[in-house]
């Protein structure tokens, strides 16, 4: 075996050992609580609560973050150094556990639906009230606020495929039309 390499990575592969040694679970969790940006801890704890192994949870969390959100660990080489393994080892983890990518995507979606949604709403508001705001900016804001309703029109056609005059429609026919529309939109019977 080459100097500086030790057997015993996650899958028994040779790994480069940094001077400080391998990152243990205890050291890793201390780093997460004391030094890592908050997004690291949130993602990691979520995956650990789901039973994901700590190294897989760390890699999925790292993959889910944009470069700006990774703090002092922006590159894969930096991540490998943090974990105390060779960069190639992190690729091995990912190739042997394809679910790591799925977990990373899940964390991204969760962040977008959570805190980032408030940021999107605030940006939509500022665009809507800006002097150079457009009608579509205002429409988007009103839709997000839940006060925008699209106008819907129904054109009734008679037997000759021409428009039906409202005076010609009886209450019974209106009820039948209403029930037919409800059935068509719900996909089932109303009665």
Report pLDDT for 90.
93
What is the CA angle 112-115-117, rounded to 5?
Answer: 60
What integer pLDDT is reported at residue 127 of this predicted model? 80
Identify the pLDDT of residue 166. 60
Q: What is the 3-state secondary structure (H, E, C) of the chain?
A: CCCCEEECCCCCCEEECCCCCCCCHHHHHHHHHHCCCHHHHHHHHHHHHCCCCHHHHHHHHHHHCCHHHHCCCCCHHHHHHHHCCCHHHHHHHHHHCCHHHHHHHHHHHHHHHCHHHHHHHHHHHHHHHCCCCCHHHHHHHHHHHCCCCCCCCCCCECCCCCECCHHHCCHHHHHHHHHHHHHHHHCCCCC
- Quick one: pLDDT at residue 17? 42
- Give the Cα separation of 169 and 15 in Å (integer): 81
Residues in the chain: 191
Give residue 56's pLDDT: 94
For residue 89, the model assigns a pLDDT of 93
Instruction: Give pLDDT, residue 159.
Output: 66
Check residue 158 and give its pLDDT.
Answer: 63
Q: Give the pLDDT of the chain (191 residues) as one tens digit per residue.
A: 333 334 444 455 444 444 445 678 888 888 888 888 888 888 899 899 999 999 999 999 999 998 888 888 899 999 998 888 999 999 999 999 999 999 999 888 887 766 566 666 677 777 877 888 888 877 877 776 777 777 777 666 666 666 656 666 777 888 888 888 888 877 665 45
pTM over 0.75: no
Neighbour-count burial for 156-176, b at 16+ CB within 10 Å, e otherwise: eeeeeeeeeeeeeeeeeeeee
């Amino acid at each position: 075996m080459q100097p500086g390499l030790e057997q015993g990575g996650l899958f028994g592969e040779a790994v480069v050992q940094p001077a400080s040694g391998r990152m243990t679970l205890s050291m890793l969790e201390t780093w997460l609580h004391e030094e890592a940006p908050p997004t690291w801890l949130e993602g990691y704890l979520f995956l650990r609560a789901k039973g994901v192994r700590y190294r897989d949870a760390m890699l999925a969390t790292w993959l889910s973050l944009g470069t700006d959100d990774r703090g002092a660990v922006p590159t894969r080489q930096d991540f490998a150094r943090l974990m105390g393994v060779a960069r190639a080892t992190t690729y091995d983890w990912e190739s042997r556990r394809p679910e790591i990518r799925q977990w990373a995507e899940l964390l991204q979606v969760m962040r977008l639906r959570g805190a980032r949604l408030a940021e999107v709403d605030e940006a939509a508001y500022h665009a809507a009230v800006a002097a150079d705001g457009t009608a579509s900016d205002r429409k988007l804001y009103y839709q997000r606020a839940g006060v925008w309703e699209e106008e819907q029109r129904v054109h009734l056609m008679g037997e000759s495929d021409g428009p039906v005059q409202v005076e010609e429609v009886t209450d019974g026919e209106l009820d039948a039309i209403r029930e037919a529309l409800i059935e068509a939109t719900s996909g089932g019977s109303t009665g």
